Structure formats: C-alpha cells, structure tokens
C-alpha cells in the first residue's frame, strides 16, 4: 500500500510543482507564497522517494511518519498559499508535518 501511495505522492508532486512553476502566477502574485509552494512540492517529491525506501525495507513507523508528514507539511502549505484566510487554522499543522518528516528519517535510520 505504501509503495503505491509513494508513487502517487511522487506523481502529484511533479504535477503540483509544474503548476507552481507555470500556472500559479496567474492566481498568486506574492513571490514568498510561490516560494512556499515550491518548497511544498520539493519536500513532497523528496519524501515520496523516502517513502519508497521505507516501504521497500518494510519500516511501518517510517511509512506512517513520511505519509503523515507529507500530508501535513506539503498539504498545509499548498492550501495556505491558495487561500491563507480560509486555511489560516492550518498554520500550526505545517511544523507538525515537518516533525513527522524528521521522525520518519530517524525511524528509517534505526531500522
């Protein structure tokens, strides 16, 4: 299951990154927000590969932490860039996602 999820997260990271590079400027003009979008796509792509590794070595803790981390970190950034007023409540979710990503790496190291 995590192998498939990692592939889907990787594919969507490429698509969202391409949208950020080519279409987002039509919706968002703030360069800082565009940079945040790029960071979200970059972290999602890198951690999709990490999730592939975790799935291959059968590390269920890393699987969960990487999946949660990508969803919280990148997902909250995407939504905050698109509509910061509506999704302001997600601000604290971003660092929690980052902690999950860090935890995923630590769990992978301890396998």
- Cβ atoms of residues 83 and 28 within 8 Å: no
DSSP state of 87: T
> What's the chain's average pLDDT?
97
- What was the pLDDT predicted at 72? 98
Mean pLDDT for 59-76 is: 98
Domain ranges of the chain: 2-109
- Cβ atoms of residues 44 and 70 within 8 Å: yes
Assess whether pLDDT exceeds 90 at residue 111: no
- Cβ atoms of residues 80 and 92 within 8 Å: no
End-to-end CA distance of the chain: 19
- What was the pLDDT predicted at 50? 98
Q: How far apart are CA 69 and CA 83, in angstroms?
A: 21
């Amino acid at each position: 299951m995590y192998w498939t999820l990692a592939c889907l997260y990787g594919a969507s990271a490429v698509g969202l990154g391409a949208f950020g590079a080519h279409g987002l400027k039509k919706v968002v003009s703030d360069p800082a927000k565009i940079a945040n979008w790029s960071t979200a796509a970059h972290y999602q792509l890198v951690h999709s590969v990490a999730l592939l590794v975790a799935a291959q070595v059968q590390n269920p803790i890393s699987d969960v932490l990487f999946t949660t981390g990508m969803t919280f970190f990148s997902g909250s950034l995407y939504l905050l860039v698109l509509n910061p007023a509506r999704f302001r409540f997600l601000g604290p979710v971003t660092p929690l996602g980052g902690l999950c990503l860090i935890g995923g790496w630590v769990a992978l190291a301890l396998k």
